[in-house]
């Protein structure tokens, strides 16, 4: 069976296909793909067995990352927590992967990486595991009172009540003012983590491409932003993608208030799942934080294929390397460093 490459940003069939596919997420959407293209120069594409003019029945979306620093690779999908191949059978996945594998043959040192939600067996489809992670999702089918009751009493419930007693104010939107407050907190948080922040242009492009599906949520104390999260909505899922705070005010419960506001809004709009996002296993504090909301842990893994043997790496090595570089960099240079480096990291 023939395999065809399409442009998932401009081919109208892709959007229709996503709407009818229960496995599709925000990371498959033309809006997410266009933001990747505008910010990092990646050209998104998708493989399908549907001939031109035919209705799509499957799809594997990807970007090619071309970097003199980190090498060239085909990734499904850069900067995305996960990206399930939109197929119904193992045979369909094997067919689409085979087409991508053949394309690697002429590029020495390149490799292919997919980031599915579904766990595969080591060596399955000729793929080797490249990393293991933890995904947290909160089921929102229960009523709000029951959802709140399941939160950790000390670390979540009391923090929310503390934020209310402290009269923290809440804002949401996509304005330049709100983006500036979010980004300032993001730079502070990344400095604490000894990592460079994502480029400001990435968030501007997300706002432009996502529109009303994106919200910046701010908690403020006396007009000063003390915590912020960025969420994305698609179908019946609300995704927490980025979060940041001013550590001096963490005791006030700003982050807990923001998550609670987002969950309350999700319930009111009929959303079924709050996706807390991916965590590395070497981030026990973050995993514990998400556990305390009653979210369910699910292991996910990334998988790679290369013509030539791929080097064995220790999970989290890129973060440790980045901390060694950015940990000694002056604050004023961190945003610039992020702008220069992130396109090599997808």
Q: To the nearest whole percent, how much of the chain has pLDDT over 90?
A: 79
Are 183 and 290 in the same domain?
yes
CA of residue 19 relative to chain centroid, distance: 20
pLDDT confidence of 326, banded at 50, 70, 90? Answer: low
Could you report the per-residue pLDDT of 220-251, keeping only the tens digit for each? Answer: 999 999 999 999 999 999 999 999 999 999 99
Residue 56 lies in a domain: yes
Task: State whether 146 and 277 are in the same domain.
Answer: yes
Q: Are residues 180 and 288 in the same domain?
A: yes
For residue 1, name the pLDDT band (cuts at 50, 70, 90). confident
pLDDT band of 119, cuts 50, 70, 90 = confident
Residues 194 and 257 in one domain: yes
Residue 164 and residue 19 share a domain: no
The one-character DSSP state at 22 is T
On whether both 176 and 211 belong to a single domain, the answer is yes
Percent of the chain with pLDDT over 70: 91
218 versus 339: the higher-pLDDT residue is 218
Q: How many angstroms separate the CA atoms of 343 and 70, rounded?
A: 10
Residues 252 and 162: beta-carbon distance below 8 Å: yes
H-helix or E-strand spanning residue 203:
helix 200-210
Domain end position, chosen among 118, 145, 163: 118
pLDDT in tens, 124-169: 899 999 999 999 999 999 999 999 999 999 999 999 999 999 999 9
- Domain hosting 184: range is 136-299
pLDDT of residue 158: 98
The pLDDT value given to residue 69: 83
Residue 330 in this model has a pLDDT that exceeds 70? no
- Segment 83-110 shows an average pLDDT of 87
Q: What is the CATH number of the domain that holds 8?
A: 3.40.630.30
Q: How far is CA 163 from the centre of its chain?
A: 27
> Most distant CA pair in the chain: distance in Å?
64
| 215 compared with 328, residue with greater pLDDT | 215
Q: What is the DSSP letter of 45?
A: E
Under the banding of pLDDT at 50, 70 and 90, the label for residue 327 is: low
pLDDT above 70 (res 181): yes
Q: What is the dihedral of CA 137, 116, 33, 275, to 10 degrees?
A: 0
pLDDT band (50, 70, 90) for residue 329: low
Q: What is the pLDDT of residue 336?
A: 80
Question: How far is 287 from 283, CA to CA, in rounded Å?
Answer: 6
């Amino acid at each position: 069976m023939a395999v065809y490459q399409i442009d998932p940003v401009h081919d109208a069939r892709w959007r229709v296909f996503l709407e009818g596919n229960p496995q599709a997420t925000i990371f498959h959407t033309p809006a997410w793909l266009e933001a990747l293209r505008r910010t990092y120069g990646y050209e998104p594409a998708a493989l399908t067995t549907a001939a031109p003019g035919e209705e799509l029945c499957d799809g594997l979306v990807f970007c090619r990352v071309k970097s003199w620093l980190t090498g060239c690779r085909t990734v499904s999908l850069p900067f995305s927590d996960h990206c399930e191949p939109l197929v119904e059978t193992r045979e369909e996945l094997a067919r689409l992967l085979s087409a991508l594998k053949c394309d690697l043959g002429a590029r020495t040192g390149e490799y292919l990486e997919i980031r599915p939600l579904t766990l595969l067996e080591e060596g399955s489809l000729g793929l080797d595991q490249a990393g293991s992670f933890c995904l947290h999702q909160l089921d929102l089918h229960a009523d709000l009172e029951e959802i709140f009751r399941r939160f950790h009493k000390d670390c979540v419930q009391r923090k929310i009540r503390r934020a209310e007693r402290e009269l923290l104010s809440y804002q949401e939107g996509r304005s330049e003012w709100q983006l500036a407050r979010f980004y300032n907190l993001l730079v502070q948080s990344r400095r604490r983590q000894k990592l460079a922040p994502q480029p400001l242009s990435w968030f501007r492009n997300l706002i432009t491409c996502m529109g009303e599906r994106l919200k910046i949520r701010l908690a403020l104390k006396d007009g000063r932003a003390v915590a912020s999260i960025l969420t994305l909505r698609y179908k019946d899922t609300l995704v927490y993608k980025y979060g940041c705070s001013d550590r001096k005010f963490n005791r006030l419960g700003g982050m807990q208030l923001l998550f609670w506001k987002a969950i309350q809004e999700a319930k009111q709009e009929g959303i079924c799942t709050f996706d807390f996002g991916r965590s590395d296993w070497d981030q026990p504090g973050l995993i514990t934080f998400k556990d305390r909301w009653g979210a369910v842990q699910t292991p996910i893994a990334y998988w790679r294929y290369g013509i030539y043997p791929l080097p064995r790496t220790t999970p989290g090595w890129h973060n440790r390397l980045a901390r060694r570089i950015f940990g000694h960099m002056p604050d004023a240079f961190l945003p610039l460093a992020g702008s220069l480096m992130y396109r090599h990291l997808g």
